[in-house]
Structure 1
């Protein structure tokens, strides 16, 4: 559970770092946006690195950690896209989500 929660919160920070400026920040100079995003991403790394270490120490493979992170990122981005950017979800988003969830299932099925 600590691995999942750390990955969840790290993805919230990373999605914010990458996309916050698309809504209301487009008038800011690019260098300022980059520096602000680096500051936000620093928090993401402070959460993601321990998440991966804890997960690996508890038997998760590197592949499992990466695919789980991607699945979480897709969920977080979908919420961000709708709530912050005001963009609608389409069937393509659901199809992509199903594909990512299938990848997660393939890596975790039979995990000992």
Structure 2
């Protein structure tokens, strides 16, 4: 149960991270948001990033093998990176609608899957 919970929490965390880091680039289309200066945008992003950490920290604590979870630190990091790219890609293509998914993106993701395999492989 700790493995799936870790993955769920990391996914939610990454949704907040994506909107904190990149959402402001799209939300400028909103009237109230476009009037914010850089400091205002930073504060809104920090507010979103707070929720990123609300989910990220428990995910790592629950998932870490020394806390009874199934994952090593390397595994947690690789999982987090893959989730980050999946969430970012889905948001970019379907929410922000700024880019199209192309073959080189898929090739890069395939290499990430290979990285996951190598990190999780018991040598």
Instruction: Determine if the TM-score, normalized by the shorter chain, exceeds 0.5.
Output: yes
Matched, 1:90 2:102: yes
SS at match of 1:15: helix
Is the 1:7–1:51 Cα contact (8 Å) retained in structure 2? yes
- Unaligned runs of 5+ residues in structure 2 are none
Alignment of 1:92-111 (within 5 A): 92-110=104-122
Consecutive aligned runs of 4 or more in structure 1 exceeding 6 Å deviation: none
**TM-score between both structures, scaled by the size of structure 1:** 0.91
Alignment of 1:51-90 (within 5 A): 51-56=59-64, 57=67, 58-86=69-97, 87-90=99-102
Greater CA drift, 16-25 or 37-46: 16-25
Task: Note the alpha carbon deviations across 1:54-73, whole angstroms, 9 max, x for none.
Answer: 11121311110000000000
Task: Note the alpha carbon deviations across 1:11-36, whole angstroms, 9 max, x for none.
Answer: 01100111111114173311111100
Q: Structure 2: how far apart are the matches of 1:90 and 1:22?
A: 22
Task: Please give the root-mean-square deviation of Cα atoms over the aligned residues, in Å.
Answer: 1.5
Cross-structure match for 1:6: 9
- Unaligned runs of 5+ residues in structure 1 are none
**Largest Rg, 1 or 2:** 2
